[in-house]
Structure 1
Amino acid sequence: MSSCNKDDKYQFTTSRSAVETYRAFLCKIKSVRTSNTKEYVASLKEWKEVNDTVYKFLVADSAFVKYHNEANDYFLIRDSIRKEMLRLTETWRYGYDDVLSIKEQTSAYKDDGDLAEAVSLATPFFASLDSTAISVCDKASILKRYRYFLTTTLSKGINNREDMLRFIRDEDYMFRTFLHHLYEMDDEPLADISRNTEAICRNIFIAAREGRIPSKDAIVYMSMRTVRRLLQNSAECVENINRLEMKGKAQGNAYLWMIIQPFVSIDPFLLATMTPQERSRFEYIVTQLPKSRRFADTFDINLSALNYLLPQQLLKIYVLSI
């Protein structure tokens, strides 16, 4: 509800005045020649505030139905502002830590007390998962057990909260054991594992929709599970790519995507569900990438260039999602 404030900062009398206020912000952004993390955060926050306020006024005023000129102007101005924000990403050498900081500070869920409380209640469950050591087995064994676990879970179904928590706990154990053999999986067909995992997750949300699992629990626990998996996967890839020779271009490309996936896939809501443990894991990834010579070599690009060009692209992806 970024557009709601006690000072009533934006006071529109007509749809045209709302559009002109939006245009004034565009002119302001156009005049900015350089930026840094603090200033970029401030600009993004202001953009979100004025955009939400103008949009809600136009909708309430039926401008999108009655006055097509105002509606057209709004969308043109919004696109122009987005282009200017993309331009500003190139005026400063943002790092991986800057990308994470900007996404966190501009998240609409940053100060969501209800979400923070729900995450706090779920944190002990996730903190307990690492107390179970991974299985000592070979690649063939873990794949066989992983597949059996998923097909059995699909057969039994997810019918209540306890089933959901049992799935998350058992899957985490399987996934961590699987990651221990990740380097060996370069030529292994894994589509069935992905497909069955997606089916189980879909069933969990169906159960929540039908009232068999509290909706808040399904959203919070599954979001925290997603963050944990993405960061576990990325951290393991960082370890492997710095310690082992890639077997080929295909494996190298797969590793690169898995390493940067948290920066792309962990959206503002998922960021708000991050536990201190996962935050620490994310910071580990952030600190390792800038000094990873092999990471740059796999990209076939200069390390110093990679350390600002890739964060720049990641920041652009975030801006395009707004």
Structure 2
Amino acid sequence: MVNFDSIKGSNTKVAFHPQPKGVIQFVGGFISGSFPQISFKHLFQHLYEAGYSLIVYHFPFHPLQFNHWSVAIEILDDLYKVRFEIIKKLFCTTVSDRQLNFYTDDSNYFWLGYSLGCKYILLLEILSDDYERFQRRDEVLSSCLSKKDFKKTQKDIERADRNREEAINSISDLLGRSCQINPFIKDQPSLLVAPEINNTVQIANQYISLFSFWDFPSLDTIQCLITASTEIFNLMGLISFNRDTIAKDDVEFLKRQLQNRTFKPLLHKVFEGTHNEPLESNVENLVSCINLILQELRQRQRYGIAGTVECET
């Protein structure tokens, strides 16, 4: 089993690989995201064996949380704390400068989302749009949000910016040199597995969109935001399942959007199975494909060259 360390004052667990080729930041789905070490134990084991350190966010068990943007910011704030605690832990041990520098480099971090967790990653990506000093981001937000919601979102943005600066200052003071953390998740590749952005769950063979009336942002709003954010989502891949009736519509929408971004072809692979496939024990092929897609996204990130990925699905 993967050995996870707790982070003081955090909802996140960390598994350090002795020789990591990347750091996966994982956000799970409705309910499963509150118990990720149980729900995704096989997935995490294979990802770790593939060479990744894992940062796994635990949702407090609070299903009646409608402000998804606030939740996304809370995840990011938590991971800022975790970044400092990781550097502090390594700094106080006998690791080499190379190992320490690995965890201070934004380009070594990936995002992996499952189901509703993908919505939070999408929201953080939208807030990463710093085209012309965030002028473009504010244009997108104001075009899709009401004035009241725009002001509410700006407060969340300001909170995230303050916490990022605090993390940067803490790490810089610890290391005795300047460091940098990019705003939100800028330039960090992400992979969405069975992305579900409409809060749909299966109850007694029926698919119900829970509390969608109260969701913020709503399905229409997040689709507006994604469609308007034409400069971003360039380092994102998709994995879907052919019998997944929960995420089907969201996958089709994201496919249409992402295939028009900078890099082609779109990295989208379809596996046999249902929405809950990543929670099963037989995930070897899925993890192999996740690894291939993440490494291709890294190539696109670092060298600006797009290749293809062949997965056994």
Which band: TM-score by shorter chain? under 0.3
The structure with more strand, counted as a fraction of residues: 2
When normalised by structure 2's length, the TM-score is 0.28
When normalised by structure 1's length, the TM-score is 0.27
The structure, 1 or 2, with the larger RCO (C-alpha pairs under 8 Å, 6+ apart) is 1
